[in-house]
Amino acid sequence: MNTTSPQVRVVPGSPRERQATALLQASHALMQSLFASEDNHYLSIDDLCVPEISFFIAKEGETTLGCAALANRGSYGEIKSMFVDPNARGKGVAHKLMHRLDAQARSLGLAELKLETGDKLEQAHSLYRAHGFVDCAPFGDYEASDASVFMTKTLTENV
């Protein structure tokens, strides 16, 4: 009898999948509880369902543990909607999602990854720094805000 637990795998998914929608709604509620409305830059579920967005879910068996999106902004990719179920934290889910986003950006030929995150989300800052991100100035349509941290990572060609 096999008693090992299923491996966490990251696969393309839909923000409209029931478990992914629940995670996105939990993420949105958390952001609304921590930040003023003008400091929330998350995308709606509909906005995540466009061709420029690659959406991924982390699954263990049939359970969705986390999700993340990569928005193709032409010359760079922007990480959006990164969230892991609080009950699944500590399993490496966020790291697996980050590796998948990086691989997707490289496969699209993007030169950089960028993101905006909240100043209060220190665990997120640590995760992003562990994956090679450094602080940067606001980008795209973002404006400087004390509630925002902007980060970037240059993607180099694999040799």
User: Which pTM value belongs to this model?
Assistant: 0.91
Domain count, the chain: 1
Using pLDDT thresholds of 50, 70 and 90, give the confidence band for residue 159: very low
CA distance 31 to 33: 5
**CATH code of the domain in which 18 resides:** 3.40.630.30
Task: Answer yes or no: is 135 within a domain.
Answer: no
* 131 assigned to some structural domain: no
Structural domain contains residue 155: no
- Does residue 37 sit within a domain? yes
On whether residue 35 sits in a domain, the answer given is: yes
Whether 144 maps to a domain, the answer reads no
pLDDT at 1 over 70: no
Q: What is the pLDDT of residues 100-149, one digit of tens each?
A: 999 999 999 999 999 999 998 988 999 999 999 999 999 999 999 999 99
132 in any annotated domain: no
- 139: exposed, middle or buried (C-beta count within 10 Å: 0-12, 13-18, 19+)? middle
**Residue 63, amino acid:** T
